[in-house]
Chain A
Amino acid sequence: MTPLLIENGRLVDPSQSIDRVARVLVTGGLIAAINPDDGDLPPNVRRIDARGRIVAPGLIDLGTELREPGREEDETIETGGNAALAGGFTTILCAANTYPPIDSPGAVEFVRQKAQRARTCRIHVIACLSRGREGVDMAELGLLAEAGAVGFSDAPRPTSNSALLKKALEYCHMLDLPIYDLPLVPELTGSGVMHEGRVSTILGLQGLPTEAEDLAVTRDLRLAEATGGRLHIGPISTLQGVELIKRAKQRGISISASVWPQTLSSMTDRELESFDARFKVRPPLRNERHIEVCREALIDGTIDCISTGHTPRAREKKVNDLDLAPFGMVSLETTLASINTDMIRSGLLSWPDAITRLSTRPAEIAGVPGGSLKPGSPADIVIIDPDVAWTVRGDEFQSRSNSTPWEGKELFGQATHAIVGGEVRFERHA
């Protein structure tokens, strides 16, 4: 493997409190040194000039739907992995909502082998929490863990069965693996398609009330407190949900939470006035009050990290009326830019804080390698051009699906390189 020297870039590594121009030497798939002496450089080193760009630990996504096996028309392990790289993600955790669902060691093995063959980003498996994702009986969590699963979830189906969630949280103590719960009370969401509020009332569209999320967060927090289990709640999208998490953390309850990029964006529920299914996403686009509170919660650390919420759905499924079109959006390739555009360029979030929430903290929560460029760490690196302006065109994505609420919008910032284990797996040519 060719050694790499990334030079002249702004190195942002929150795990080492580094934010300065520095050189990064990569040899043997690992970070060899920060600012090495010239005499220590290997003879055949490949130099990457990162002038004007940011060099950071590769981004890590805690919730990507890959849809293979069974829904390859939406995404495959390979196309999803390529989309991740193009978006600056060197590690993703894939969801278990495949067909059949990932509730057996064989299914975990299938994804891991396909991922290895695809040679895109690192792909870890979040396996089912319950058998068949039916929300009744625990899946064979121990065997799934042995097969390589790094966590459990039935998402995007919420864990409605409180007894199941409690038992699983207790059981996972011995596995020391997290459970990811999507906070939602389905009885309250019904056939809703958008945020319940003034706009949904006017449009006559069924609403998704914030209470559906708030009640589930309340229950999840209580169960996490009662069991002491490792629980990650997300996506959070309501101001009440944020308040609940803030109070729980103040009381010392050990939970983590994530937010998806649409909840931090400047898009509100008014986008649905177009009746365009691209804006049918879950959590739904809410109004300014919720957006503001979620942004603040991300800034102050109440919300730990940003996940992409990459939920690809094939074009033919989204070209329909709002009741029939599925929820979903591709977002691996826009998350970095949307956070940069909405949070960083507006001065709300610094680059070190953004990298913490997109890489360092997700690595800690998931317990997977990455999130740091300390010497000896795997050389998973993203190089970011923070200033490049580009217009989102879903048809140009690596992802197999193309429906995005950012379609046609101008965003700033893009990954120019994604390096996995010291190998440049994605390089954007101007």
Chain B
Amino acid sequence: MSKTLLEPPSGWNRRHLLGLQDLSVDELRTLLDTAQQLKEATNNCREKLSLLAGKTCANLFFENSTRTRNSFSLAAKRLGADTVEFSSSGSSVAKGETFIDTAKTIEAMGVDWVVTRHQTPGTPHLLARELSCSVLNAGDGPHEHPTQGLLDILTIRQHRGNIDGLTVALVGDIAHSRTARSNIWGLKKLGAHVILCGPSTLVSHRWRELDVEVAYSLDEILPRCDVLNLLRIQFERQTTRPFPSVHEYANLYAMNADRMRRSKSDILIMAPGPINRGVEITPEVADGPHSVILEQVTNGIAVRMAALWLLANAPHNSSSSEPIVH
């Protein structure tokens, strides 16, 4: 079934979505409200609209991804757009071409958005300077993953109605997490108290400079938390082993049934996925009544639809050249 409805919200002027750090509170709310509206209009992201018919979205993934790539693809298709898929393995990048030249080549085929994932921080920012079309950051190394941050916040908002005043703990591999870096900016702007929790080798004391709480004991902070977002240990990004063993990590930081009993009765359990069962989270918690992990996945499509739609309707001469560190 194809539906047409909705007017794009006014006041959105960005052509790129590179991170949450440089978004205003109003822009964050516009993205979340639009995602909510699209989720309802598409019956939980299952039906198609034709708001972006005739447009093309290119997924340029220089780093492996399954869920984010499929989520962006589905989001584009649910709005009536076509998609182009690119992955770096076996491509011209493997032959020595720079990612910028690859992106320019794909753009020259006529695309309206480039959704990009890359292992190096800042690559979407470089593309935004080099390309004429809109650029969406689907994860740049450990830097930012704005749509993941938005879908996390949207999920919290759906359950709690508001972000202001909540205590949200991000637990795990903060050092290598783009999800953490987007969540921090988004949550703080909307009024949450953010706690970063994990081994001290993965949670730098420097984060305190950003007005977040840093904690090394999950058990100590647990009673205060309204939300726990359990981040995956990114072994693939680590150059040296940050803790003695997975067993030790799981003992100190895994969310399990015992810790659930010591938590607030309405605590929300989140994870950006993929989850390592038994490392960050035990199966009974991942599949339990407090877990909203699969809702996050559904909200991911709504958030990405919102982002694509808003960027498509932004004035063409607008930019995202604001400073990205405040």
Contact = CB atoms under 8 A, between A and B. Distances in A.
Given A199-B325, A275-B121, A321 B126 contact: yes
B123 A321 contact: yes
Interface stretch (A202-210, A348-356, A361-369): A202-210
Given A205-B143, A321-B118, 8 more contacts: A198-B206, A202-B21, A203-B325, A275-B123, A275-B126, A319-B98, A320-B100, A321-B122
B178 A204 contact: yes
Interface in A239-272: 270
Interface string A182-214: 000000001100000111011111000000000
Interface string A261-295: 00000000010011110000000000000000000
B122 A203 contact: yes
B98 A322 contact: no
B210 interface: yes
Contacts of B210: 202
Given A198-B209, A273-B325, A321-B120, A204 B125 contact: no
A427 interface: no
Interface string B97-121: 0111000000000000000001111
A320 B119 CA distance: 13
Contacts of A198: 206, 209
Contacts of B176: 204
Interface residues of A, number: 21
Nearest to A200: B206
A342 to B, nearest CB: 22
Contacts of B121: 203-205, 275, 322
B129 to A, nearest CB: 9
Interface string A320-334: 111110000000000
A197 B120 CA distance: 18
Interface of B: 21, 98-100, 118-123, 125-126, 140-144, 176, 178, 181, 204, 206-207, 209-210, 239, 323-325
Given A191-B239, A204-B121, A273-B323, A319 B100 contact: yes
B192 to A, nearest CB: 18
Contact of A324 (B120, B125, B204, B207): B120
Nearest to A187: B240
| Residue with the greatest number of chain A CB neighbours at <10 A, chosen from B119, B122, B141 | B122
Contacts of A190: 239
Given A273-B323, A324-B120, A204 B142 contact: yes
B40 to A, nearest CB: 34
A191 B140 CA distance: 16
Contacts of B98: 319-320
Nearest to B326: A202
| Residue with the greatest number of chain A CB neighbours at <10 A, chosen from B140, B178, B206, B209 | B206
Nearest to B184: A202
A197 B325 CA distance: 13
A209 B323 CA distance: 25
Contacts of A323: 119-120, 141
A323 B204 CA distance: 21
A204 B143 contact: yes
B62 to A, nearest CB: 9
Contacts of B143: 203-205
A205 B178 CA distance: 11
Contact of A204 (B126, B144, B239): B144
A204 B120 CA distance: 9
A44 B15 CA distance: 67
* A-B pairs, 9 with minimum CB distance: A275-B122, A204-B142, A204-B143, A321-B120, A323-B120, A204-B121, A201-B206, A273-B325, A275-B125
Nearest to B126: A275
Interface of A is mostly: loop
| Residue with the greatest number of chain B CB neighbours at <10 A, chosen from A203, A274, A324 | A203
A274 B323 CA distance: 8
Nearest to B239: A190
Contact of B122 (A191, A199, A270, A322): A322
Contact of B206 (A191, A197, A270, A319): A197
A98 B178 CA distance: 39
A290 to B, nearest CB: 16
A198 B211 CA distance: 12
Given A273-B324, A321-B99, A321-B120, A202 B181 contact: yes
Contacts of B142: 204
Interface string A289-315: 000000000000000000000000000
A202 B325 contact: yes
Contacts of B140: 204
Nearest to B142: A204
Contacts of B181: 202, 204
Contacts of B123: 275, 321
A198 B181 CA distance: 13
Contacts of A273: 323-325
B105 to A, nearest CB: 15
Contacts of B118: 321
B204 A201 contact: yes
Contacts of B178: 204
Contact of A270 (B21, B119, B207, B325): B325
Given A202-B181, A204-B144, A324-B120, A274 B125 contact: yes
A276 B140 CA distance: 14
Contacts of B206: 197-198, 201
A323 B143 CA distance: 13
16 contacts: A202-B181, A202-B210, A204-B121, A204-B142, A204-B144, A204-B176, A205-B121, A205-B143, A273-B323, A274-B122, A275-B123, A275-B126, A320-B98, A321-B99, A321-B118, A321-B120
Nearest to A323: B120
Contacts of B100: 319-320
B277 to A, nearest CB: 26
A191 to B, nearest CB: 7
A205 B324 CA distance: 14
Interface in A120-177: none
Nearest to B178: A204
Contacts of A319: 98, 100
A80 B66 CA distance: 49
B264 to A, nearest CB: 30
Contacts of A270: 325
A39 B96 CA distance: 68
Nearest to B324: A273
Contact of B120 (A199, A276, A322): A322
A204 B98 CA distance: 21
Nearest to A270: B325
Given A191-B239, A320-B98, A204 B325 contact: no
A371 B144 CA distance: 51
B130 to A, nearest CB: 9
Contacts of B119: 323
